[in-house]
Amino acid sequence: MLKHFQVPDNIAVRVEIKKLRDIVEKIFMKCGVPHDDAILAADVLIFADESGIDTHGVSNMLRSYVELYNSKVLNPTPTMDIVKETPSTATIDGDKGLGIIIAPKAMQIAIEKAKKVGTGVVSIRNSGHLGAAGYHAMIAADNDMIGWCMTGGGNAMIPTFGAEPKLGTNPIAFAAPCDNQPNFMFDAAMTSIAGNKIGLANRMGKGMEPGWVAHDDGTPDMDGGNSADFAANSVRRQLPLGSTRELGSHKGYGLGVMVDILCGQLSFAEGFASLSDNRRGHFVAAYSIDAFGDIDTFKNNMDGMMRNLRSTKPMPGQDRVVYPGLPEHEVRIERNKNGIPLHPEVIEWFKAICSELEIQEHL
Amino acid sequence: MLKHFQVPDNIAVRVEIKKLRDIVEKIFMKCGVPHDDAILAADVLIFADESGIDTHGVSNMLRSYVELYNSKVLNPTPTMDIVKETPSTATIDGDKGLGIIIAPKAMQIAIEKAKKVGTGVVSIRNSGHLGAAGYHAMIAADNDMIGWCMTGGGNAMIPTFGAEPKLGTNPIAFAAPCDNQPNFMFDAAMTSIAGNKIGLANRMGKGMEPGWVAHDDGTPDMDGGNSADFAANSVRRQLPLGSTRELGSHKGYGLGVMVDILCGQLSFAEGFASLSDNRRGHFVAAYSIDAFGDIDTFKNNMDGMMRNLRSTKPMPGQDRVVYPGLPEHEVRIERNKNGIPLHPEVIEWFKAICSELEIQEHL
């Protein structure tokens, strides 16, 4: 399930997680990020790499974060400001801090509120990229709560019947705790494919698969083969989940707007009324399971449901049926043992950046 | 957008809304439903018919509700019990009440909580079908809040790579208020198509469209033409939103599980650990916009976003781009003027049931 966008085994260099984590922390600190925040930022990135969510790990994201700190687009020492709050809600201004650091802190606020009054719902403006949304939702699950995380903004998804992009890929993440089964963790863009995966396909010189993008006039490309040079900043025309009206693209589109509303409108972020290119907002929420009933019963019931889904008879050509969060859990076990596979080109980048930033250690 | 599943104009009989509402109320009361609840139940059904959501209006649903009351599966005078609550949450036992009556009351509880502490999140067990989920979400929007409604259970959706159904169609509804633009209202099954629409296609003798269902072995039918005799209680094998793994069916599947968790696990409803056929649970939530910021600014910004989506350049062959809630709003205006189009067969059913229940009025 995750294999498609991972570095092929024959060229991957395996790197020990502890070593990678250590260097990533140092890189963040060299960007001016305080020690505790650097530890947190590295944890979010490494979680993605550990879990096989390579699109949101060090390979794709770290260099962009470094550039954004260097060009002062991101603030390494933001003052997270609670603009407005009630017992169960908060509106947060991230002061241009990186989302992978702001979102876990916002989730902690949500969790504290949920402990007191049952739920915590937090909308965040003025904060950068938040990495793998699943990480933030999982913080709630690890605290015996249900967790949500979404991030909205940018223009990549074209509305159903449209000819131009108006929404971001707008992922929804949702996590819930199990007892003996790996926690349920859903994390997916509301386009038919994640934006980073299109970037990866491009880098590998591959054409688009059917249903991923639209032709220049907006017509869905259901044959595949379209190419898009994102490096050249060409317009992205990704199709909503569902790809065509007949297959339900109005649902992916509608869910995409919902994410923009929760992240951008509810946080009163700039640019959401006009759907401007560079708008961005986040959303996290935690629902205390204890507020609804007995937590042990809940987790037992979740185990039953997940076992039941895993026991689904597979269709021809497939070994098994999984549930969201299970493959990521399995990859975490394997990579914690064997290290994280990085592309040699990424190893080179680490060498160069460590040299530039005068970091002694190397991978 | 909504046309496909509506009665063709040349055979439809237009019925005045007030008259239809009056008779529907009387039918509910003859089933033993108290007057106020009958008014509410009729309002939910008529909302669907008014809005062009014909699959969830009087034609499809009312006869099933009457049968369930007659056979004592549904309780016409339920005592809605709050099993557990916190300032922002409630777990509700619906005492076998019909969902179209229980859900709006649960939403009222959510709204009261949201007024006090910012959000209200309510999970509901032991309650029947809830009609058009969008109705319940819209109650929150009409109270200047963001509204959610979901309903989970039953076995119609096959998990990605599976050969047998394990989840319901599990719709998600979400509403948010605008100022001058019609409110945003999303309401869609997490299968590629709503279950009732498959039933309708069957009744009209039409085969399935590509991407709607799987073949008997679980392989997605991407050519179309499959037929399924649901009247004969054959197993339903609906594909998740996304239809195939390549087009993102794991996303529709994951969202489907999420709905089951929020509706069934969080309400501690029976049968969700074992995914039993007859399990059912609901979920409603309200987030007070006032808790996050200024409501007028929010609604103005929503207007801007909706206008912007409507102004999207359309692809060839399309007149315009809409947003969820807009077509329904337009149909409401038209049908409030011209009446609700019913199939002559439905008119006959009304005659028969009114005679059986000794109701004097007729359509």
Residue of chain A minimizing CA distance to B256:
A186
pLDDT tier, A195 (very low <50, low <70, confident <90, very high otherwise): confident
Residue A162: the pLDDT is: 98
Tens digits of per-residue pLDDT, A72-97? Answer: 999 999 999 999 999 999 999 999 99
For the ranges A8-22, A248-262, A286-300, B320-334, which has the lowest average pLDDT? A8-22
Closest residue by Cα to residue A315 from B145, B219, B233: B219
- With a cut of 70, say whether residue B233 has pLDDT above it: no
Task: Band the pLDDT of B265: cuts 50, 70, 90.
Answer: very high
B119-127 vs B89-97, strand pairing mode? parallel
Topology of domain B3-73+339-356, CATH: Hypothetical Oxidoreductase Yiak; Chain: A, domain 1 (1.10.1530)
Interface contact A161-B321, CB threshold 8 A: yes
Angle at which helices A133-142 and A35-50 cross, to 10°: 100
CATH 3.40.930.10 fits A81-291, yes or no: no
Closest partner residue to A261 among B160, B176, B209, by Cβ? Answer: B176
- DSSP letters for B161-228: TBSS--B----EEEEE--SSSPPEEEEE-SBSS-HHHHHHHHHTTPPPPTTSBB-TTS-B--S-----
Q: How far is B255 from chain A (nearest CA, A)?
A: 8
Distance CA A156, CA A154 (A): 6
Q: What is the pLDDT of residue A1?
A: 43
Comparing C-alpha atoms, which of A18, A288, A293, A138 is closest to residue B269?
A293
How far, in Å, CA of A188 to CA of B241, rounded?
Answer: 13
Which residues of chain A are within 8 Å of residue B267 when distances are taken between CB atoms? 292
Check: CB of residue B91 under 8 Å from CB of residue A292.
yes
Give the other-Cβ count within 10 Å of A300's Cβ: 15
Tokens 């315009």 found at: B320
Average of per-residue pLDDT values in chain A: 94
Domains A3-73+339-356 and A81-291 alike in fold? no
Of A132, A144, A147, A131, nearest in space to A187 by CA: A132
Q: Which of B305, B311, B326 to mutate to test the interface with A (most CBs of A within 10 A)?
A: B305
Give the residue from chain B lying closest to A219, CA to CA.
B315
Q: A149, A257, A270, A319: best mutation site toward chain B, by most B Cβ within 10 Å?
A: A257
Give the pLDDT confidence score for residue A183 in this predicted structure: 98
Rounded to a whole number of angstroms, the distance from the CA of B311 to the nearest CA of chain A is 9
List all residues 6 or more positions away from B96 whose beta carbon is below 8 Å from its beta carbon: B73, B74, B75, B78, B126, B127, B128
Helix intervals (H) in chain B: 17-30, 35-50, 63-70, 99-117, 133-142, 195-203, 249-260, 295-310, 326-338, 344-356
Contact (CB, 8 A) for A151 and A283: yes
pLDDT of A5 reads 62
Q: Indicate the SS3 state at residue A104.
A: helix
pLDDT, averaged across chain B: 94
Residue-level pLDDT at A206:
77
Q: How many CB pairs (< 8 A) connect A and B?
A: 304
User: Longest C-alpha distance within chain B, in Å?
Assistant: 57
How close does chain B come to A341, measured CA to CA in Å? 24
Q: How many Å lie between the alpha carbon of B212 and the closest alpha carbon of chain A?
A: 7
What CATH code is assigned to B81-191+248-291?
3.30.1370.60
What is the structure's pLDDT at B3?
54
| B305–A275 C-beta distance less than 8 A | yes
- φ, ψ of residue A220 to 5 degrees: the values are -60, 135
pLDDT at B261 over 80: yes
Q: Which of B186, B189, B273 sits opposite A258 (nearest CB)?
A: B186
Q: Region A9-23: what's the mean pLDDT? A: 94
Rounded to whole angstroms, the Cα distance separating B135 from B171 reads: 13
Give residue-wise pLDDT tens across range B194-208.
887 787 777 677 778
Contacts of A188 by beta carbon, 8 Å cutoff, 6+ apart:
A171, A172, A173, A194, A241, A324, B248, B250, B251, B254
For chain A, the structural domain boundaries read 3-73+339-356, 81-291
Closest CA to B160 of A285, A327, A331, A281: A327
**List of chain A residues whose C-beta atoms are within 8 Å of the C-beta of residue B294:** 268
CB spacing of B250 vs A86 below 8 angstroms: no
Task: Name every chain A residue with its beta carbon within 8 A of the beta carbon of B261.
Answer: 146, 174, 176, 184, 302, 305
**ipTM of the assembly?**
0.97
**Closest CB to A247 among B118, B211, B323:** B211
In chain A, which residues have their Cβ closer than 8 Å to the Cβ of B323? 159, 254, 257
Of B121 and B206, the one with more pLDDT: B121
pLDDT, tens only, B138-158 = 999 999 999 999 999 999 999
* A161 to B242: CB separation less than 8 angstroms, yes or no: no
Q: Do B188 and A251 touch (CB under 8 A)?
A: yes
Is residue A71 very low, low, confident or very high in pLDDT (cuts 50, 70, 90)? very high
User: How far B254 CA lies from chain A's nearest CA (Å)?
Assistant: 6
Residue A7: the pLDDT is 81
Lowest-pLDDT choice from A186-195, A254-263, B87-96: A186-195
pTM strictly above 0.95:
yes
| pLDDT mean over A99-107 | 98
Chain B nearest-CA distance from A327, in A, is: 12
Q: What are phi and psi of B353, to 5 degrees?
A: -70, -35
* Dist. CA B269–CA B124, nearest whole Å: 8
- Which chain A residues are closer than 8 Å to B189 by Cβ? 251
Q: Do B304 and A273 touch (CB under 8 A)?
A: yes
Task: Mutate one of A3, A321, A326, A328 to test the B interface: name it (highest B CB count within 10 A).
Answer: A321
Q: Round to whole Å and give the CA distance between B311 and B89.
A: 39
Burial (CB < 10 A; 0-12, 13-18, 19+), residue B169, is buried
Check residue A228 and give its pLDDT: 63
Contacts of B216 in chain A (CB under 8 A): none
| A202 Cβ contact partners less than 8 Å away, ≥ 6 residues apart | A227, A228, A229, A230, A231
- Tell me the residue type at A187: D
Query: Which residues, including other chains, have CB under 8 Å from residue B150's CB and lie 6 or more apart?
Result: B133, B170, B171, B172, B173, B259, B262, B263, B282, B283, B284
Answer whether B25's CB lies under 8 Å from B38's CB.
Answer: yes
- Contact yes or no for B48/B129 (Cβ under 8 A): no
Q: Summarize pLDDT for A29-43 with one digit per residue, the tens.
A: 999 999 999 999 999
Cβ of B273 within 8 Å of Cβ of A301? The answer is yes
Q: Do B292 and A184 touch (CB under 8 A)?
A: no
Chain B contact set for A3 (CB, 8 A): none
Task: Identify the residue with better confidence: B228 or B35.
Answer: B35
Q: How far is B160 from B242, CA to CA, in rounded Å?
A: 10
Q: What's the angle, vertex CA A71, arms to CA A69 and CA A74, rounded to 5?
A: 40
List chain A residues with CB under 8 Å of B87.
87-88, 117-118
B230 — pLDDT class (breaks 50, 70, 90): low
